Structure 1
């Protein structure tokens, strides 16, 4: 079972992310790939493709389109080195502004026309983001951090349904170690709303 202290910066970089260092030297990029694979359950190639973190990335570290639920996920990751620190609402407010840059076709066209990283532009075109927004796909933000949120952060997110917060506590509650020795002995519930289910009669 993953505990919040396991996500401390020292343990995160020395243990949890040690297999991700060859894919990117940047800790936030490593953590984002781990999150995509272990929480959203993407395969490694899809996780790599969804990472757009670079300079001029408009505050977006990851862009993932779920064609089953018709949701566009815009992800921002923040890692903190300081022990016992908590996440407040200023960065969440900033992230909310970043999400607005993708709220509709005109906004996304402005991103493409502006001083935006090639990596993000390529992801927008590859995922056909404009067409999907026009067809009704919903844009949602996911904020990921290795530290617990404080009350200000929780209160802010509660009033912003456009943002899902994965702080240290939420990540630990969602994480399932499928490779655990001896198997998994706890009871878990899985949301299959975004999965095609085959019914046998």
Structure 2
């Protein structure tokens, strides 16, 4: 199935996930988790925490079979000619560092207050898996990388997987 990733046509791919208190990028991430990770509706919705106060975390998926913790950042651009550079990737790398230890993840939970990310970390059992599961970051967007982003990923490609327009 060919999909359009240009805005606003992109929204047609996941209109069933749009909700009054859910951002477009959260609906996009739910759609992505269903399409590419083959999660069921409830699993995908439960893995997304994209809202104000989320500490840079848009979603978390724990794969117990592969022993991986994947932290997601999703971004939708309304401009087809925009790109993602190293600044967004540096910020995301900082987000991932919040999961380097149990203490850092607990601090994230304490400072997130009532944001969904704190509840997601708690109910997922993530704290018990830090240190024994591989931590991954996945940045999903409907635009492509610019050269500074490409250069950044040459150094940090083990920590961050970048899923861009051309891969969707």
Secondary structure of 2:69's counterpart equals: strand
Aligned to 1:98: 95
| Contact 1:57/1:116, CA 8 A, preserved across alignment | no
Which residue of the other structure, out of 4, 7, 19, is the alignment partner of 1:9?
7
Query: Residue in 1 aligned with 2:70?
Result: 73
| Structure 2 unaligned residues grouped into runs of 5+ | none
Alpha-carbon distance between aligned partners in 2 of 1:119 and 1:25, rounded to the nearest angstrom: 12
DSSP 3-state at the match of 1:41: coil
- The count of aligned residue pairs is 167
For residue 83 of structure 2, give the secondary structure of its aligned residue in structure 1: coil
> 1:46-93 CA distances to partner (integer Å, 9 max, x unpaired)?
000001112211100001100011110100111100122222111011
CA deviation map 1:100-147 (0-9, x unaligned): 01111111121122244441111111111111114x111111101111
- In structure 2, relative to structure 1, the CA distance for the partners of 1:41 and 1:24 (3 Å cut) is farther
Tell me the secondary structure at the aligned position of residue 114 of structure 1: helix
Aligned to 2:149: 153
Query: With structure 2 as the length reference, what TM-score do the two structures score?
Result: 0.92
In the alignment, what sits opposite 1:162?
159
- TM-score after normalising by structure 1: 0.77
- C-alpha contact (below 8 Å) 2:51/2:115 kept by paired residues: no
Match of 1:141 in 2: 137
Matched, 1:19 2:21: no
**Please, which runs of 5 or more residues in structure 1 have no aligned partner?**
172-201
Greater radius of gyration (CA): 1
Asked if the contact 2:47–2:120 (Cα under 8 Å) also holds between the matched residues in 1, the reply is yes
Give RMSD over aligned pairs.
Answer: 1.6
Give 1 or 2: higher helix fraction: 2
Q: Secondary structure at the match of 2:85?
A: coil
